[in-house]
Amino acid sequence: MNWGAFALSLRLAASVTVILLVAGLPLAWWLARLRSRWKPLLESVVALPLVLPPTVLGFYILILTGPRTAIGRVYQSWTGSTLPFTFAGLLVASVLYSLPFAVQPFAAGFAGVDARLVEAAAMCGAGTWKTFVRVVLPLSASSIVTGAVLSFAHTLGEFGVVLMVGGNIPGVTRTVSIDIYDHVQALDFRAANQTSALLLLFSFFLLSATYYWNRRAAAALLEGGIRP
């Protein structure tokens, strides 16, 4: 069992989840309240990674962040290295790839918060930030947990984008899924099976724990006072 690959995947998934919580929550809040004719276009952009083959996304990230583009050159002048084939590059690619898995549940949760409660908060003198933190976030807690868990689990299992952008560098970009691929290539089915089974069990546990939590949270909110 390659525990290094596991540790790397967990580190990547945790980082992606944190970044998506920090950036995805405001983005989703903005999207949920946006009244613009461009909204469907923006929603499409966010949802694109759901339908694109990871290789397409990976290919463009590779090109865009490579040393020949402005973005790549700025990054290189700041850090002294290029994005592709580094952990940072993997992080950028994974955040983009998992974006809809976070933003869509977040936005659905926000849209489900009664607009009158937001108005009531404003009439009580609350600004956008206070309303968001004290009213909107608590009332969409289960959607936020769902989005975070989905981002985590999805990053844990990604393959195509990692291979395109990160390559296969042990300890740097060789994640669990690449590790499994390597074992299969080497016809080491026993090792591949061990790692795959572990990933399968872990993901299943994560999702079922989340769904149970959501059920209890919904029941608790009902006790507390949400009108059905």
CB 57 within 8 A of CB 93: yes
* Candidate residues 138, 186, 197, 216; the one interacting with another protein per rule CB under 8 A: 138
Given the rule CB under 8 A, which of 135-143, 147-155, 163-171, 202-210 is the region that contacts another protein?
135-143
Pick from 80, 125, 129, 187 the residue near another protein by CB under 8 A: 125
What part of residues 195-224 is at the interface with another protein (CB under 8 A)?
A: 221-224
According to the binding rule CB under 8 A, does residue 139 interact with another protein?
yes
Residue 114 engages another protein in binding (rule: CB under 8 A): yes
- Give the total of residues touching another protein (CB under 8 A): 24
> Which distant-in-sequence residues (6+ apart) come within 8 Å of 224 by Cβ?
none
Annotate 112-141 with DSSP letters as a single string.
TS-HHHHHHHHHTT--HHHHIIIIIHHHTH
**Residue 138 Cβ vs another protein, minimum distance, rounded to whole Å:** 5
The residue among 40 and 224 lying less far from another protein, judged by its C-beta, is: 224
> For residue 217, how many C-alpha atoms fall within 13 Å in the half-sphere facing its CB?
15
Looking at this protein, which amino acid is placed at residue 144?
Answer: I
What sign results for the dihedral spanned by CA atoms 38, 39, 43, 44?
negative
Q: Residue 122 interacts with another protein (CB under 8 A)?
A: yes
Burial class, 219, CB count within 10 angstroms (exposed 0-12 / middle 13-18 / buried 19+): exposed
Q: Which of 126, 169, 198, 207 binds another protein (CB under 8 A)?
A: 126
The DSSP 8-state label assigned to residue 64 in this structure reads H
Query: Can residue 37 be called a binding residue for another protein (CB under 8 A)?
Result: no
Give me the residues that bind another protein (CB under 8 A), please: 114, 116-117, 119-127, 130, 134-135, 138-139, 221-227
